[in-house]
Amino acid sequence: MAKPAGSVMERIVALCKRRGFIFQDSEIYGGINGFWDYGPLGVELKRNVREAWWQNMVRAREDMVGLETTIIMHPQVWKASGHFDMFHDMMVDCRECKSRFRADQIVCMHVCQATDETNQALTHGLDALEQFPLGKPLIQLETLLDLSVEASSLGEAVERAEERIGAAAKLHNVSELKKCRIAALESARETKKAIFAVYDKNEIPHFAIAVLLPDCEAENPRACPRCGAQNSLTEPREFNLMFKTYVGAVMDEDAVAYLRPETAQGIFLNFKNVVDSTRIKIPFGIAQIGKSFRNEITPRNFTFRSREFEQMEIEFFCHPSESNKWYEYWRDERMRWYQNLGLASSRLRLREHEKEELSHYSCGTSDIEYAFPFLAEGDFGELEGVAHRGDFDLRSHMEGKLVARDGQLVLDVGPDGKPRWKGSGKDLTYFDPDRKERYIPHVIEPSAGTDRATLAFICEAYTVDESRPSPELMKFHPRLAPIKAAVFPLVNKDGMPEIAEPIYQEIRKRWPAQYDAKASIGKRYARMDEGGTPYCFTIDGQTKQDATVTVRDRDTGQQQRIDKSRCVEYLNDQLGT
């Protein structure tokens, strides 16, 4: 059978719809961007991801408790936490086609347009640079390089790149530009070192310092990347990412509330309640799974960036002197969790943030990243963040909004010297009975997205095997597989359904299972392969003779015969549940 057409991501999206994993929300009305529905298989898969996380992170541990907080909270929560006046992107609109873009993505689009030209410039000198790997452009062109560099040396080009990137980051005032700056500088320095290893510093060919991009100011950055209209883009303006709603019968400013953009704040608000109502002592964590909402300007890449999403989040409270140790522990623990559930090490990485990337309150942050197929070769997307948040959150809810000044977190005050956003005034300190000490705990936050994790497991499971009845199959870890087993009578007669039905009913008491008596056995195997079902039991003519059934393994396609009374036992041994 021919290999499925389209890019890997296109094929994955098509399979997700065909087999009932994920559907576009409100599809019959044309859909609504940034919202997705999970179908019969998808809801089982996502639930398995959620339950695997809860089992490993909460039930299996003695230092963790659970919590479930509301989606709508007091609006002062978001003022004290900083979300009210900091949680925004810069947005531009096209006056002609009415398209909307994030300001930083406009620059990135200009960058991407120059990719071919830059690669051509480098390839032109291939003969002279035989020893230099040309797999990547001179400087990563997904980054924010609005340069027109006519430099006599690569060193000068890099220095001018650093200056212009820094200026652009300040101009656009978008937090993601910090990540772009780091990636650009790292790639530039690596490239400079590689070229210097081949050539004398003063003899670098001119093509190796190619003009990467026209100057955006000179070349009209106001051209719409979608319709091409000149000077059609508005000035960048702030766009708050929180969804606004109203509480009560009167829709005025006093009734304004917001859908939560993250689950963390509900945990901080209940820190004291959890301590007072349980016997748990620091160090301990509070875990929560729940929906969050962000009004993304440009949701994209299937379920990777959406407006409604689910988080699996832990706030782990510890003594300040032990916080670095716990940060390292949770960073490694969360990495192992993904690996144990089948994400390949070659597509998974742990990346420590550079100093320039850190939030003003962060003592350290690491991202667990996955090489999603919708990204360029060699690129990774964030799967989970593990952050050392210090005492920022509890302090801000005690005192008010905190800001960074002279390297210190201080209360944000107005011209009158009074706090701009007051905290609750409640005591959120902790008295440590073992240390005989009262302090504000430090917090380590492993924050995972259920939807992103589910998408990563889908992408990892997707496999093409042209020797199969269906060339596509989903090799989910058995713990995550939506359907654990299928039971087939070879034909829907000759007493086979009467044998198959009791086996199916016995299995489904323990695990999700399917019974299928229609179509050829090859087509039934293909359906189960595409759904990710790890084991199929087939009742055939020999079953009536010796009471054995055929068990087929999804990953290998191999079959063996076992006694029909051992089907549940066999699954228990294989699934470990």
Q: What is residue 577's predicted lDDT score, i.e. its pLDDT?
A: 62
Q: What is residue 35's predicted lDDT score, i.e. its pLDDT?
A: 96
Position 477 pLDDT exceeds 60: yes
Position 44 pLDDT exceeds 50: yes
Query: How far is it, in rounded angstroms, from Cα 242 to Cα 259?
Result: 7
Measuring CA to CA, which residue among 71, 53, 73, 81 is closest to residue 312? 53
- For the ranges 115-124, 335-344, 438-447, 541-550, the lowest mean pLDDT is seen at 115-124
Measuring CA to CA, which residue among 80, 103, 76 is closest to residue 412? 80
pLDDT tens per residue across span 487-509: 999 999 999 999 999 999 999 99
Q: pTM for this one?
A: 0.76
Query: How far is it, in rounded angstroms, from Cα 391 to Cα 94?
Result: 42
Give strand pairing partners of 309. 292
Residue 259 has which token pair?
Answer: 């859908």
pLDDT: which is higher, 150 or 568: 568
Q: If you average pLDDT over every residue of the chain, what do you get? A: 80
Measuring CA to CA, which residue among 288, 394, 311, 275 is closest to residue 58? 288
Query: How far is it, in rounded angstroms, from Cα 321 to Cα 442?
Result: 9
Here the contacts of 218-224 (C-beta below 8 Å, separation 24 or greater) are 218/148, 221/106, 221/107, 221/110, 221/146, 224/94, 224/96, 224/97, 224/99
pLDDT tens per residue across span 340-368: 999 988 999 999 988 766 666 678 899 99
- Distance from CA of residue 467 to its chain's centroid? 33
Find the mean pLDDT for residues 297-302.
86
Per DSSP bridges, beta strands 402-405 and 408-411 are antiparallel
Angle at 167 between CA 164 and CA 170, to 5 degrees: 150
Q: Which amino acid is at 70?
A: T
Query: How far is it, in rounded angstroms, from Cα 434 to Cα 432?
Result: 6
Measuring CA to CA, which residue among 314, 242, 291, 248 is closest to residue 78? 242
Residue 142 has which token pair?
Answer: 């997904």
Position 228 pLDDT exceeds 50: yes
Quickly list H helices, 437-554.
450-461, 496-508, 521-531, 541-546
Question: For residue 28, how many other CB atoms are within 10 A of its CB?
Answer: 6
- HSE-up (13 A, CA, CB side) for residue 21: 28
pLDDT band at 406 (very low <50, low <70, confident <90, very high): low
- For the ranges 383-392, 466-475, 525-534, 544-553, the lowest mean pLDDT is seen at 466-475
Find the mean pLDDT for residues 408-421.
76
pLDDT tens per residue across span 244-293: 999 999 898 889 999 999 999 999 999 999 999 998 999 999 999 999 99
Q: What is residue 404's predicted lDDT score, i.e. its pLDDT?
A: 67
pLDDT band at 189 (very low <50, low <70, confident <90, very high): very low
Query: How far is it, in rounded angstroms, from Cα 106 to Cα 236?
Result: 11
Query: How far is it, in rounded angstroms, from Cα 58 to Cα 337?
Result: 13
Buried b / exposed e along 512-547 (16+ C-beta atoms within 10 A):
bbbbbbeeebeebbbbbbbbbbbbbbbbbeebeeee
Position 122 pLDDT exceeds 60: no
Position 191 pLDDT exceeds 80: no
Sketch out the chain's domains with CATH numbers: 8-74+248-402+439-458 (3.30.930.10), 91-237 (no CATH), 483-575 (3.40.50.800)
**Inter-residue contact 173 to 90 (CB < 8 Å):** yes
Query: How far is it, in rounded angstroms, from Cα 461 to Cα 376?
Result: 19
Reported as type and span, the H/E element at residue 364 is strand 364-370
pLDDT: which is higher, 118 or 80: 80
Query: How far is it, in rounded angstroms, from Cα 395 to Cα 412?
Result: 12
Q: What is residue 92's predicted lDDT score, i.e. its pLDDT?
A: 76
Residues 6+ apart with CB under 8 A from 37: 22, 23, 24, 25
- Measuring CA to CA, how many Å separate 387 from each of 324, 438, 464? 11, 23, 37
**Inter-residue contact 440 to 394 (CB < 8 Å):** yes
3-state secondary structure 185-208: HHHHHHHHHHHHHHCCCCCCCHHH
Quickly list H helices, 82-138.
83-86, 103-113, 115-123
**Inter-residue contact 38 to 47 (CB < 8 Å):** no
Q: What is residue 356's predicted lDDT score, i.e. its pLDDT?
A: 65
Residue 502 has which token pair?
Answer: 């009791």
- For the ranges 5-14, 37-46, 448-457, 505-514, the lowest mean pLDDT is seen at 5-14
Q: By percentage, how much of the chain surpasses pLDDT 70?
A: 73
Eight-class DSSP state of 4: P
- Measuring CA to CA, how many Å separate 432 from each of 322, 327, 329, 577? 14, 20, 22, 39
Distance linking the first and last C-alpha atoms of the chain = 36
- Residue 116, judged by CB atoms within 10 A of its CB (0-12, 13-18, 19+), counts as exposed
